[in-house]
Amino acid sequence: MNKIRELLEGHIIDYIESDMTTVTVDKSKLKKVLSLLKDDIDLKFTQLIDLCAVDYVEYGDSEWQTKEATSTGYNRGIRPSSHSRIDFSNETNEDEYDLCVTYHLLSITHNQRIRVKCFLDDDSLIIPSVTDLFASADWYEREAYDLFGVLFEGHNDLRRILTDYGFIGHPFRKKFPLVGNTQVRYDPEQRRVVNEPVDIEPRTLVPKVIRKK
Amino acid sequence: MSDYKNFTMNFGPQHPAAHGVLRLILEMDGEVIRSADPHIGLLHRATEKLAESKPYNQNIGYMDRLDYVSMMCNEHAYVLAIEDIMKLDIPERSKYIRVMFDEITRILNHLLWLGAHALDIGAMSVFLYAFREREDLMDCYEAVSGTRMHATYYRPGGVAKDLPNIMPKYMLNKNQNLDQVEKLNYNREGSLLDFIDSFIDRFPKNVDEYENLLTDNRIWKQRTVGIGVVSPDRAIDLGFTGPMLRGSGVEWDLRKKEPYEIYKNLEFDIPIGTEGDSYDRYLVRMQEMRESAKIIKQCCDWLKNDNGDFISSNNKIAPPDRDDMKENMESLIHHFKLFSEGYCLPVGETYKCVEAPKGEFGIYMISDGANKPYRLKIRAPGFPHLASLDEMVKGHMLSDVVTIIGTQDIVFGEIDR
């Protein structure tokens, strides 16, 4: 819709019409763009329907790639690409990420939706919080912080929300292993629940395949 | 006593009124709530992460287990997202089947909500009545999918099986004699559609029964009127959808506003509340059940006169006919590919949502061209609802917390995901 394009001229990096209008903004312009969208009388995107983070670090990677004929045949693709474990002494393994925060807004007045994407720089996980614009952002931002480690500046209660009390790491990042790092069990001798390193072997049942048509 | 002004109370996670595994830290001033801090995540299964490691079709079953009282609606949003990225058109018949089962699901959900909500507030009998009707609808689920709850019935391209021509019957057993069994089977002589028809014929009278028990009941009104009032603007700001939003007087229903499948061909009304309190949300949901019954009736009539395909004939995404597979090389290859590797989606992203019984259930799917979703974000309607609990219970009594949890129609499968 041209109205959006006009309004956001100079504030956005990218504008695409796909399943819905999708704009990409820089972190510094994020709050400006969202408040413009919210307050404009012809748009009135007053409801934040969804907020989520995406980790783009493995985007387009295939687990089933060979350059030449292989003698190992079906052994390829068994090891999942996200098999790395966190070394608790230094958290470097999990450091590889490429995060993006996506906002889905809805205008109930004009029956229209828009998606706003904001990529995070490599060196900083901080992004401004939008809790002062949309009340529903509160828990969504806590979730994105919990699962991806995005730090929302200005959120006044940025605690973990879905994972266990005392959980370490941000499990929805692509480099976080699917089987996790720790498991809990009841120890009858100590008579309490203990945490220990996970003993499940990570494996892939169906490898990720990308077929270009 | 005067030394203790405010104190903190732990509510749940093992409390029957917590509807699952909700843990609330309540700050109380006597019996008045000053603030509530919901602790969630006790049912967190990382569905979204699991989905990233599985081919598209294997994730349909996870969708059932999100909001485990409105199973097929969750599947619906997921398959819509796949179909949207693929730009796949599905047969008309499957659209009607999906809509019919969406509405059956809505009645299933609202019946459970009604029963549990009433039970929480102290009305026992509604629960028993509601489960009587749920039983019949579960049988419909079972007839098409083989399971009573987690159906995995919707597939990209249509639905897994066509509607059966015979309705399964009760068999003679050691607990029931021939007379009793025949009584149970009175409306099971025809097809599934005949069974649904007979259900819809009697269902409005059942809703009258529930309403007789509750709508003008003095105790029911004392417990719900004026409890958890949310203004329309605030409801929008808090991210409310579905009956929670409509209870506050905002006329917003995705079935009307962004009609998916064949909702635009159907006649039904959208009930809305005026006060935005728990009683209005109760009235909205009761009326929604009646409207759902109307929709099911219209779908039933259409389906009876139709013999189309129930799933797309594109064998790249839908399995080929089983007999064909044994004779035809092409079908055999398709079958093998589909059940080993799955299918790859084009690169793209989409957000698809349906009007689930609890509100807007959305799927934000990103595909990088692989046979698995790159990222799957589930937008659960209950999540923002529960987030507003603190605001809704503030200043109310402890017993009203139970009413408000009930009126929000909380299910932890979808909130914790």
pLDDT tens-digit profile, chain A (213 residues): 578 887 777 878 888 888 888 999 988 888 888 988 888 888 889 999 999 999 888 888 777 665 555 555 555 565 555 544 444 444 445 567 888 999 999 999 888 999 999 998 777 888 999 999 999 999 999 999 999 989 998 898 889 999 988 888 888 888 888 888 888 899 999 999 998 888 887 777 888 888 876
Supply the pLDDT for residue B302: 92
B374 inside 8 A of chain A by CB:
yes
B384 inside 8 A of chain A by CB:
yes
Closest chain A residue to B360 measured between Cα atoms?
Answer: A49
CB atoms within 10 A of CB A57: 15
Long-range contact set of residues A158-162: C-beta below 8 Å, sequence gap at least 24:
A160/B41, A161/B40, A161/B41, A162/B40, A162/B41, A162/B44, A162/B416, A162/B417
* Phi, psi (rounded to 5 degrees) for B282: -65, -50
A200 inside 8 A of chain B by CB:
no
Q: Out of B351, B375, B387, name the one closest to residue A54 (CB).
A: B375
Residue A33, both tokens: 């763009």
- Do B81 and B365 contact (CB within 8 A), yes or no? yes
Supply the pLDDT for residue A213: 62
Supply the pLDDT for residue A80: 59
Q: pLDDT (tens digit, 0 to 9) for every residue of chain B, 417 residues total? A: 566 678 888 887 887 777 778 888 988 888 899 899 999 988 899 999 989 888 999 999 999 999 889 999 999 999 999 999 998 889 999 999 999 999 999 999 999 999 999 988 888 889 999 998 999 999 999 999 989 889 899 999 999 988 998 888 888 888 888 888 888 888 888 889 999 999 999 999 999 989 998 898 898 999 899 898 999 999 999 999 999 999 998 999 999 888 988 998 999 999 999 988 999 999 999 999 999 999 999 999 999 888 888 888 888 888 888 888 889 999 999 999 898 888 989 999 999 999 999 999 999 999 988 889 999 999 999 999 999 999 999 889 988 988 999 899 888 888 988
Contact B368 A59 (CB under 8 A): yes
Task: Give chain B positions within 8 Å (CB) of A178.
Answer: 49-50, 53
Q: Taking the model in full, what pTM does it have?
A: 0.89
CA distance to partner chain A, nearest, from residue B311 (Å): 23
| Widest Cα–Cα separation across chain A | 69
Residue B179's Cβ-count burial label (10 Å; 0-12, 13-18, 19+) is exposed
Supply the pLDDT for residue A60: 80
- Do A35 and A131 contact (CB within 8 A), yes or no? no
Task: Give chain A positions within 8 Å (CB) of B241.
Answer: 49
Rounded Cα gap, residues A172 and A149, in angstroms: 9
Rounded Cα gap, residues A38 and A59, in angstroms: 31
Task: Give chain A positions within 8 Å (CB) of B49.
Answer: 171-172, 178
Supply the pLDDT for residue B316: 86
Q: Out of A47, A164, A205, name the one closest to residue B236 (CB).
A: A47
Supply the pLDDT for residue B312: 87
The DSSP secondary structure of B354-413, one letter per residue, reads: EEETTEEEEEEEEE-SBSS-SEEEEE-THHHHHHTHHHHHTTSBHHHHHHHHHHHT--HH
Task: Give chain A positions within 8 Å (CB) of B362.
Answer: 49-50, 104
The helix (run of H) or strand (run of E) holding residue B211 is: helix B192-214
B341 inside 8 A of chain A by CB:
yes
Contact A161 B40 (CB under 8 A): yes
- Do B144 and B192 contact (CB within 8 A), yes or no? yes
Range 91-150 of A in CB contact (< 8 A) with B: 102, 104, 108, 111, 113, 115, 134-136, 138-140
End-to-end CA distance of chain A: 31
* Phi, psi (rounded to 5 degrees) for B20: 115, -125
Q: Out of A20, A111, A163, name the one closest to residue B257 (CB).
A: A111
Q: What is the separation of C-alpha B202 from the centre of its chain, rounded to a whole number of angstroms?
A: 22
Predicted ipTM of the assembly: 0.87
CA distance to partner chain B, nearest, from residue A130 (Å): 12
CA distance to partner chain B, nearest, from residue A172 (Å): 6
- Do B50 and B44 contact (CB within 8 A), yes or no? no
Residue where the block lists tokens 């799927």: B363
**Cα separation values, B332 from A32, B61, B162, B322, B371, Å:** 56, 25, 22, 9, 19
Residue A192's Cβ-count burial label (10 Å; 0-12, 13-18, 19+) is exposed
In the A/B pair of chains, how many CB contacts fall below 8 A? Answer: 120
Residue A62, both tokens: 């295939």
Closest chain B residue to A175 measured between Cα atoms?
Answer: B49
Contact A172 B46 (CB under 8 A): yes
Rounded Cα gap, residues B2 and B243, in angstroms: 42
Supply the pLDDT for residue B189: 86
Supply the pLDDT for residue A88: 45
Task: Give chain A positions within 8 Å (CB) of B344.
Answer: 209-211, 213
Contact A19 B350 (CB under 8 A): yes
Residue B355 forms beta bridges with which residues?
B360
Supply the pLDDT for residue A73: 55
